[in-house]
Amino acid sequence: MVRHAVMTKLRELGRDPLVALDEAGIELNPAQRRLLASIRGELEAKRLDDGWERWSNTPPDLEAFHVLICTLLSEYGGFNDPRLMLEQWTQRYRVRHPAPDLESLVAFLFSHDGLQGDTEDYFAPRNSSLSWALEHKRGLPITLCSALILVGKRVGVDIHGVAFPGHFLAQSHLHGEPLWIDAFDGGRFIAKEELVEALGRVPATTRDRVLAPASVIEICARILRNVVTSLERAEDIQRHRRAVKWLGQLDDRLRELEVPDYPV
């Protein structure tokens, strides 16, 4: 009964109870910290189960999916709500650029003091957290592309994700022509010819499919493949098990849609 009352009160905080209490300057003895850590695990599991259930039963939404991933990976950093951080980046961009366009948006997000690819600890779980990426300006290609897509959506710049083998890209149009964007490499613009050359002797039908915009389900499955790999390397058994379960469900949906499975 006491545990239930504590869980109810901590659930009202809507965040990590240990972090909240530490920030409030409340000292806990070791036994209290162990109890709260246990309760935190229960709260996190409930929040993740409920969140996945909601997400799975509504039209696929990339932003809501990133909220789930940030919650799953909160142990590795990135405690802030990624939606609030996306709004902050969006507002800063709008102040500088009242008339949004692709070139200024890419330059703003990926300038020398903007978002960058993490080349030092690429496989760290935190690099799949959009919250971490927006706060610390580091992340995986797909995490940085997601930031570009979601800020672009807020300001009316149409940008898609592309499941290019081995290196996720973004795609849009400039002056009426399609182009691809490497968010991991400073937002570099890439012409189709460069990507066709990189694909080598891939059949034209497969090549066109690879270079086309990916669906939200494809993007989310690819994010989860990165998460599964990073959690396995981190030997985080519980979170790895949950990520594998989610990925299995997304792969089932992709098979139903007859979508090819591309490497991460």
* Residue 52 sits in the same domain as residue 135: no
26 has pLDDT over 80:
no
* Residue 11 sits in the same domain as residue 119: no
Boundary residue ending a domain (22, 37, 58): 58
- Residue 44 sits in which domain range? 2-58
* Residue 97 sits in the same domain as residue 207: yes
Degrees to nearest 5, angle at CA 23 with 22 and 29: 15
152-163 pLDDT, tens digit each? 999 999 999 999
* Residue 80 sits in the same domain as residue 206: yes
105-145 pLDDT, tens digit each? 999 999 888 999 999 999 999 999 999 999 999 999 999 99
Q: Worst-scoring range by mean pLDDT, 175-189, 200-214, 220-234?
A: 200-214
Domain-located, residue 262: no
> Is residue 213 classed exposed, middle or buried when 0-12, 13-18 and 19+ CB atoms within 10 A define those classes?
middle
* Residue 97 sits in the same domain as residue 38: no
Q: Which two tokens stand for residue 182?
A: 């490497």
Domain-located, residue 179: yes
Please answer whether residues 15 and 79 qualify as being in contact, where contact means their C-beta atoms are separated by less than 8 angstroms.
yes
* Residue 115 sits in the same domain as residue 187: yes
Taking the C-alpha atoms of residue 183 and residue 90, their distance in angstroms, rounded to an integer, is 17
* Residue 52 sits in the same domain as residue 117: no
Domain-located, residue 263: no
* Residue 20 sits in the same domain as residue 47: yes
Number of domains forming the structure of the chain = 2
Mind giving me the DSSP string for 110-147? TSTTS-EE--SSTT-GGGG-HHHHHHHSEE-HHHHHHH
Domain-located, residue 64: no
161-183 pLDDT, tens digit each? 999 999 999 999 999 999 999 99
229 vs 33 pLDDT, higher one: 229
Domain-located, residue 189: yes
Taking the C-alpha atoms of residue 201 and residue 14, their distance in angstroms, rounded to an integer, is 52
* Residue 127 sits in the same domain as residue 27: no
What is the pLDDT confidence band of residue 264, given thresholds at 50, 70 and 90? Answer: very low
* Residue 152 sits in the same domain as residue 51: no
* Residue 120 sits in the same domain as residue 216: yes
Q: Which two tokens stand for residue 134?
A: 């927006």
Domain-located, residue 81: yes
Query: Global pTM?
Result: 0.86
Taking the C-alpha atoms of residue 103 and residue 264, their distance in angstroms, rounded to an integer, is 27
* Residue 34 sits in the same domain as residue 117: no
Taking the C-alpha atoms of residue 172 and residue 157, their distance in angstroms, rounded to an integer, is 9
Boundary residue ending a domain (21, 36, 58): 58
Boundary residue ending a domain (58, 79, 103): 58
34 has pLDDT over 90:
no
Name, in order, each residue with C-beta under 8 angstroms of 165's C-beta and a sequence gap of 6 or more: 199, 210, 262, 263
**Per-residue pLDDT at 263:** 43
